[in-house]
Structure formats: C-alpha cells, structure tokens
Structure 1
Amino acid sequence: MSFMETTGRQSPDEYRLPVATSPSWRAQATAIDPQLALGFTVSARCGCFMQAARSLNIKATLLRKQLAQLEAQLQCSLFSHCDSGMALSREGLQLQAQLIALAHERDLPVIEQPLVRLAVAESILHDILGRDLVALLRRNASVRLDIITLDSELALQAVSADVVVWLAGTESPLPGPSFAVSEPRRLARLDYQPHIAKRYSRTASRPDSLEDLADFLLVQWQSHRQVENFVPWNALVDQRLAGVVQLHSYELLLEMIRCSACIGLLPGYISRFDRGLIALPGLFGQPMQREVWMAVNAQSEGEAQVQMIVELIQNTFNERREWFES
C-alpha cells in the first residue's frame, strides 16, 4: 500500500514488533540514495510531511514523490495513517532503525546553513517586509537569518550585516552603512504626513490647519526627531507645552494613533497597511519625504542565501509599487 493511501484504525500491536536486524534490511538501507534517505528520516522524525518539507526546504509534493520512489524501490509501505495522524509501518520502523545505525557509524555531520544578517529600518520591517519574511520562514525552516532593526542613524552606522535596508534623505543614500557595500539601490520614495484614526475624526471636524491641531494630542516617535526633512513637524512638536507623547517604539506609535485619538507623523502608504488610519494633507506648506535604500555587503553579495533575501526585498517593493506613488 502506498503511504498516500488511507487505512482503517491500526492496532497498536502492529508497531510493537521488534525491529528486524537481518542483513537484508541493512543492505537495503546502505544502498538507498542519500537524498531519499534524508527525506525519509526527516519525515519519520517530524511525523508530518508538511513540516518535513519545510525543514528540507522543498515542496511537500516533491517530498511525497521521493518517498513514493523509495517505497517502490523497497517494494513496501513505509508509512500508514492512524487516528493520531501519520505513523511508520513495521517496515518503516525497521528502515528507520537501520538508517539511524548507519548515521551513527558514519558520524555524518549536520549541514550548517550560512548565516544571513539582515538589517532593516524598523518601520519598513513592520509595515512592508515583515509579512513576506514570515512567508519565507514558513517555506524554509532550515534558514539561518539574523534580523536587526534600525531605529536611528547611529544604529545604521554601528551595524554589520549582509543586507541593509535603510531610510535616508531624498536624492542621496547618505549617510549609509559604514562598511563596504555594493552600489545602493533606491527602492521607494516615501511622503510623510500627519495621520489620525478615522473613528476619532469625522470628515467635517478633521483639522485642516495647524491651528486646528491645538485641541489634539500629538505623538512623536523619537527616531523622527533628528530627521532633517521633518523640521516642520518637529518644530510643531517642540513648541508644545502640553499635549505631546514621546515614544521610542514604532509599533506603540501606531497603536497610540489607532486607539488614543492622537495625531502622529506616518508615511503616506500607511492607510494601505491599516485602512483605519487617514492622512491629514495640507497642514504643512513643504513636503516631508525620505527614500528607502538597499545595499549588500561587498564581501557576501555573491552568496546564494544573500541573493535570496535581496530578491525577496526587491520583489516585495515591486509588488507594492502603488503604495509609494502619490
């Protein structure tokens, strides 16, 4: 029976038989292709084809084909289904024991995955890249990824990473990373405006001048205080003798605006990320803009895992291009 076919309830006695140690099973285990053996042992260990495929960084359909090929080669069923899910058949238990014994004898090392260090501006990670990075990890459980958040120019200058995504002024990526990098790529230009939650501001009562802001609580992310292009907003905040909240967390900034009737400075795309937020245009006479840049460490830009992260970031920004078009 193929492991993909379902069976009725299996008796526990079927799986309590002693594991065979006959030379024939050992010989068959020795002759198995290493890739098929790895797929089988990981599936047996995980007890779930989907999780095993994630651990191996392959599609579940490919893993099932490999296991079917192995069953055809051995002319027996290695897996069966029971009430609690997938289980090894008697032959599967015998093969697992032999492969474990062979692995111990050969002292096979664990294949080390290269560590990829990704440094990202905190707001970009939260709003734009976070979802796609989660999807990457869902598909590839064996990846080694170190994600570093950048919340200031000082953090950008101090970081060491393989891929860096940061925010800078318009027209130039400077100041950028302090280590040698490839030619920086401009990913997007962001327009910043004050935002408020829709539920706290009816259309007729929304502020349309700086004077109208006097009755609203302003919330300021500390990371914005040193941004040269945000001088109009920062000057307004600094003039306040009351009604100001200073925050060191971007996520808390969003929560305050959503839930506390606050007004805060956010990128213009935020209403696409959270439809409960709305911009208040026309309050300032000059635009407040920043640009998103990406660069790759010159020493590791040729590595496959690094290129995988670079392509993911580039594709994410390409797919969200309409977010940044005013």
Structure 2
Amino acid sequence: MSFIESTGRQGTTDYRSPPHTPGPWLALAAGIEDEVAQYFMVSARCGCFMQAARSLNVRATLLRKQLAQLEERLQRSLFSFQGSALTLSRDGQQLHEQLTTLAHERKLPVVEQRSIRLAVAESLLHDILGRDLVALLRRNASIRLEIISLDSELALQTISADVVLWLAAGDSPLPGPTFATSEPQHLAQLNYLPHIAKRYSRVTSRPDSVDDLADFMLVQWQHERQIESFRPWNNLVEQRLAGVVTLQSYELMLDMIRCSACIGLLPGYMSRYDRSLVALPGLFSEPMQHQVWLAVNTDSGEEAEVQMLAQLIRNTFAERREWFQS
C-alpha cells in the first residue's frame, strides 16, 4: 500500500511507501532454535536448499522439513522462487535482518571440522576412488579433506595421514606407513598386464608373444621402474634401444596408450574402467601383481569422519570386487 503526502507545492502530490514497521510476528525470532536459525540463514546465503544442506552436512529433506515447520510457526512464507532461483520473500528478508541483528548476541553454532588427510596410491585414486570421493564431496560440502597422492615408496614412508591406501608386492603390507596404524586390511589383489587401445589393434594383429612387441612403442610410468614384481616388463623396457616413452604422470601414460598406439603395463581391471583399452594376456609367463592395503591412523581412527572415509573405501572395493578377479 501507499499513502499521499503533500509536498507543499500547489497541485502536486508525492506518492511514497510508508515507513516499514516490523510486524509483531518478528518478536518470535528470538525464540527460534539456533539450529533452525542456521538452516534459514545458510539457505538464504546459498540460494539453494540442496547446497545449503551440503554445506551444513544434513539431509536436504531434513532441512526442508525444519524450514517448513518454521514457516508454519511464524505463519509466514519465507522463500519464493523466481524461475529456478531461490530468493527470500519480503517476510523472509525481514526475518533475515532480525536474525542478523540478534546474531551478535546469540552466537549461532559453527561446526569447525579439522582437515582429514587421505593418502592414496595415485593409480587407485585415479581409477577406483575418484568418482566416489567426488560423490562424497557433493553430499558433504562442509568436510575438510586433504588428499595426498602416493607415487613412490618414499612418499609412503614419509607422509602422515588419517587413512592410507597403498600398494605392496607379495603377501605382506610392508613397506607400509611409518606411523602407528590399525592392523592393515587387505582389500584386493591386482594383476598387471600389457594393454593397448582397441582402435589401434585388430584382433588378428594383436601381439601373441614378447617378440611381437618389437613392432610397438612401449610406454612406462616412471614410478614402476624399480618395482621388483614388475621385473619381466621392466627388463623388456630396459633392453629396448628405441621405441620407449617414460613418463612421470600416470594419467598421461593412460593418454599415450589410448591415443598413440602405445602398449603399457596396467592393472587387469583397466578394460572395465576404460572400455577403449584391451589387455594382452599370455605375453609373460611370470605374474605381475600388487596387493591393495588399507590402514587407519590409531590417533584419529575413532573420529566419525575418519571412520566414514575408511568405510567409503571398503565399500568402493567391495562394489568393484569383480574388477579384481581378472
């Protein structure tokens, strides 16, 4: 509504909105629980219920239910949609101003999370864990997660982390982390085979023996040059006088195999992860293997976030157990 106020000029009037007077319903703001007030303020800031729920680490359905109950209690509609954008209604703006004023006196709870450190073998991070970690972060935007890529045994020996996922040869988890951990848990056995891109190799022309590899360029990840269990492959690469590419980057090695007609040593599950690649079994008589081990730092193993991360890793390997049977 508006009212007419004379400007003192003959024949002219001035149409202005009346000064705002807070409604008595705003007195109820002082009685809003801290948790509900935080749900409202974060939703207003994010402009998205889903993002607000992620930031608060709560289910979106719970957040919407609490805000609906708040609107019912206040008998006011606090949010509105303009297209797909979530905005505050006029009443919502008034409540936001009121809660902002009260915030100096009533400290809204802030959950401070320490950084959780995950140390993981680079190939496992890229091939197996990456997607599930992305899903975890999409569900929980408030988590503080530091990911440490392990690209060598030296890195494994020098890091400190809450959760460690590493590769070891033989049946022992050694060499493993140097700090105190829970008993290492064996998650999988990885069998390694030469791989080539399907697009560069017809079935009839794929190599059937080590001698047949002479017609192909070989690509090797630098980290694997000193691994004893990969000796058959490493000996072949070292004997080459030409036709070899050595790379520091695991991801770039994969790109070389996909796009440059190279042959490289990869885990047997790779054709499940990337269907453009095919394994070349039978070239080497000796098996080339790695074992996957998981351990949790004893100092932080009881923390809920650490347990959640360790369980996510266990679930990921359990869901992909068929990958490791080849």
Separation of aligned partners in 1, 2:174 and 2:276: 34
Shift of 1:81: 1.8
> Aligned residue for 1:3?
none
Q: How far apart, CA to CA, are the structure 2 residues paired with 1:304 and 1:86?
A: 33
Q: Take 1:159 and 1:84, find their aligned partners in 2: how far apart are those partners? A: 46
Instruction: Please report how far the alpha carbon of residue 161 of structure 1 lies from its aligned counterpart in structure 2 after TM superposition.
Output: 0.3
The amino acid of 1:145's aligned partner reads L
**Partner letter of residue 291 of structure 2?**
E
1:74 equivalenced with 2:74 (yes/no): yes
Q: Which residue is 1:260 aligned to? A: 260
The answer on whether the counterparts of 1:114 and 1:305 sit within 8 Å (CA) in structure 2 is: no
Contact map agreement 2:168 2:291 (CA 8 A) in 1: yes
Aligned-pair identity (%): 70
Partner SS state of residue 111, structure 2:
coil
**Distance in 1, Cα, partners of 2:318 & 2:177:** 23
- CA 65–209 in structure 1, closer or farther in 2 if over 3 Å, else same: same
3-state SS in 2 of match to 1:282: coil
Instruction: Give the aligned residue type for 1:92.
Output: G
Distance of aligned partners of 1:18 and 1:58 in 2 relative to their CA distance in 1, 3 Å threshold = farther
Give the Cα separation in 2 of the matches to 1:21 and 1:226. Answer: 74
The answer to whether the 8 Å contact 1:219/1:256 transfers is yes
Q: Where does residue 169 of structure 2 map in the other structure?
A: 169
2:251 matches 1:279: no
Please show how residues 162-201 of structure 1 align to structure 2 within 5 Å.
162-201=162-201
- Distance in 1 (CA, whole Å) between partners of 2:256 and 2:310 is 33
- 2-structure distance, mates of 1:19, 1:48: 28
The secondary structure found in structure 2 opposite 1:157 is helix
SS at match of 1:124: helix
Displacement after TM superposition at 1:263 (Å): 0.2
- The structure-2 alpha-carbon separation of the partners of 1:209 and 1:38, relative to structure 1 and needing over 3 Å to count, comes to same
Moved over 4 A (4+): 16-24
Runs of 5+ unmatched residues, structure 1 = 1-15
Residue type of the alignment partner of 1:171: D
| Aligned twin of 1:244 | 244
Query: Tell me, what secondary structure is at the counterpart of 2:282?
Result: coil
The one-letter amino acid of 1:138's match is R
CA-to-aligned-CA distance 1:3-35 (integer Å, 9 cap, x gap): xxxxxxxxxxxxx9976546752x311100111
Look up the match of 1:8.
none
The structure number with the bigger radius of gyration is 2
Distance in 2, Cα, partners of 1:17 & 1:80: 24
Q: How many residues align?
A: 310
Retained in 1: the 8 A contact 2:188–2:324?
yes
The structure-2 alpha-carbon separation of the partners of 1:132 and 1:119, relative to structure 1 and needing over 3 Å to count, comes to same
Distance apart, 1:63 and its partner CA: 1.2
Aligned-pair distance for 1:103?
1.2
Mapping of residues 46-195 of structure 1, within 5 Å: 46-83=46-83, 85-108=85-108, 110-195=110-195
Which residue in 2 is equivalent to 1:203?
A: 203
Specify the SS of the correspondent of 2:189.
strand
2:296 alignment counterpart: 296
Structure-2 residue corresponding to 1:320 = 320
Q: How far is 1:108 from its partner?
A: 4.6
Question: Residue 295 of structure 1: SS of its match in structure 2?
Answer: strand
What amino acid maps onto 2:206 in structure 1?
R
Paired letter, 1:159: I
- Letter of the structure 2 residue corresponding to residue 281 of structure 1: P
> Could you tell me how far apart the structure 2 residues matched to 1:188 and 1:233 are?
22
Letter in 1 for 2:72: A
Query: 3-state DSSP class of the match of 2:105?
Result: helix
Distance 1:145 1:99 in 2: 31
TM-score when normalising by structure 2: 0.92
Following TM superposition, by how much is the alpha carbon of 1:36 offset from its aligned partner in structure 2, in angstroms? Answer: 1.1
Deviation at 1:106, TM superposition (A): 3.4
Structure 1 position 308 matched with structure 2 position 308: yes
Deviation at 1:104, TM superposition (A): 2.1
Partner of 1:41: 41
Conservation of the 8 A alpha-carbon contact between 2:35 and 2:109: no
Inter-partner Cα distance in structure 2 for 1:82 and 1:106 = 32
Q: Are the aligned partners of 2:47 and 2:87 in contact in 1 as well (CA < 8 Å)? A: yes
* Structure 2 unaligned spans of 5+: 1-16
